[in-house]
């Protein structure tokens, strides 16, 4: 029996072998933005495990766009070879691979959150400690423990747009099948979208049209650089979960604009803009947002957020809530979640040829995928 979760899905010229994606997850294991052996093994093992697509973690388009000094980067050509090695291996496992282009904005210049245990060791890095001056739409810090950011002037905005364009060019040289622009989780582009962070009175603040201007300008710059036969994703936070913040209605409206500007899929998350948001965490708590955007904005979506069970993930696709399902923490628990999910559903999933002797009967060996032509 074939389940929708294991059906193929095509965007432009790229065919994803199934609907299961590895959500971008920061590993805080980079030095000067370079991908290391950890990134190759971490991402490659999820491709071995049967994911249809793998997204490399938030990769800063400029050094000051990092959350921490341990973030991955794509701000210089020297980053390309290590990223290309990762992309090549993922292709060898029959999966598609993308990279998330990011700028942390006011949430930057923080220390690597481990050790001590994740969530307890993060602190503001001062310039004397190797930190940097964060930037943002307005001089409004994320919280009292974060730096007051420097508002971007027009020259800074123009340089940011150009940095995203150049990052897309490097991503193509590295062999990625798609790129995802990070406009979620309280990072720079999301900061411009939300009245909670954006207090500007110029062309980039105030009205919905003005607050969405930078996100659309970045989309246009990346789309112009990115080949027309390859897809472009954008990750958004559908709501800030806070009064006076970015709303689901605005997300639907923006997603319509994204479609008109050449975006192929909206990766729908939520939150991250303010530290005191009241988020009703629960299984699939963000799926409704992906479903509404898909229905009302007429654009493909990916659902993410406490999706852990095979039947649950299959239902998201089968019921038309989203076109793709992205898993994060569940992939940290089980890199082979897709092949285990296929077995649980009574479906078949391809296995690495080296492991085929351990696969369920009639499981096909995996076929490598060809990378897109470099720029």
Beta bridge partners of 316: none
On the question of a cis peptide bond just before residue 115, with omega within 30 degrees of 0, the verdict is yes
Given 28, 146, 187, 336, which residue is catalytic?
187
232: part of which helix (H) or strand (E)?
strand 232-237
**DSSP codes of every residue in 288-309:** HHHHHHHHHH---EEEESS---
Q: Return the ∠ at Cα 71 (arms to 332 and 235), rounded to 5°.
A: 70
SS3 135: strand
**DSSP codes of every residue in 132-186:** ---EESSS--SSTTSPPPEEP-HHHHHHHHHHHHHHHHHHHHTT-SEEEEEE-TT
Distance CA 40, CA 220 (A): 30
Distance CA 331, CA 359 (A): 19
Residue 336 catalytic?
no
Quote the DSSP letter at residue 362. T
Helices 337-345/310-318 angle, 10° precision:
80
8 Å CB contact between 37 and 352: no
SS3 97: strand
Main-chain phi, psi angles of 269, to 5 degrees: -115, -160
The two three-digit tokens of residue 31, written as one number: 């030095």
8 Å CB contact between 264 and 11: yes
How far is CA 265 from each of CA 242, 290, 292, 333, 354, rounded to the nearest angstrom?
A: 25, 10, 14, 27, 34
Quote the DSSP letter at residue 130. T
The two three-digit tokens of residue 171, written as one number: 């991503």
Active-site residue numbers? 187
């Amino acid at each position: 029996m074939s389940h929708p979760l294991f059906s193929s899905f095509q965007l432009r010229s790229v065919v994803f072998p199934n609907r299961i994606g590895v959500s971008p997850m920061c590993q805080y294991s980079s030095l000067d933005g370079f991908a290391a052996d950890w990134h190759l093994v971490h991402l490659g093992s999820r491709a071995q495990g049967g994911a249809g697509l793998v997204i490399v973690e938030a990769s800063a388009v400029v050094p000051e766009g990092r959350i921490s000094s341990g973030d991955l980067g794509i701000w210089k050509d020297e980053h390309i070879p290590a990223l290309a090695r990762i992309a090549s291996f993922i292709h060898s496992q029959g999966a598609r691979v993308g990279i998330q282009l990011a700028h942390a904005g006011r949430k930057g210049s923080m220390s690597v959150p481990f050790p001590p245990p994740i969530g307890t060791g993060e602190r503001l890095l001062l310039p004397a400690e190797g930190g940097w001056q964060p930037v943002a739409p307005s001089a409004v810090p994320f919280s009292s423990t974060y730096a007051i950011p420097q508002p971007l002037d027009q020259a800074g905005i123009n340089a940011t747009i150009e940095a995203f364009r150049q990052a897309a060019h490097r991503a193509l040289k590295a062999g990625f099948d798609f790129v995802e622009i990070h406009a979620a989780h309280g990072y720079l582009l999301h900061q411009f979208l939300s009245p909670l962070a954006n207090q500007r009175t110029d062309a980039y603040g105030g009205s919905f049209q003005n607050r969405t201007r930078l996100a659309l300008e970045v989309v246009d710059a990346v789309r112009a650089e990115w080949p027309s036969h390859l897809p472009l994703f954008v990750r958004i936070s559908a709501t800030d979960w806070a009064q006076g913040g970015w709303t689901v209605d605005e997300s639907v409206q923006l997603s319509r604009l994204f479609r008109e500007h050449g975006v192929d899929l909206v990766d729908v998350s939520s939150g991250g803009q303010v530290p005191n948001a009241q988020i009703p965490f629960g299984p699939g708590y963000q799926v409704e947002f992906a479903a509404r955007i898909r229905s009302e904005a007429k654009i493909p979506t990916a659902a993410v957020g406490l999706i852990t069970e095979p039947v649950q993930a299959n239902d998201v696709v089968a019921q038309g809530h989203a076109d793709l399902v992205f898993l994060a923490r569940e992939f940290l628990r089980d890199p082979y979640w897709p092949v285990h999910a296929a077995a649980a559903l009574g479906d078949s999933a391809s296995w690495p040829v080296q492991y085929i002797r351990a696969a369920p009967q009639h499981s096909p060996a995996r076929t490598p995928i060809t990378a897109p032509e470099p720029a």
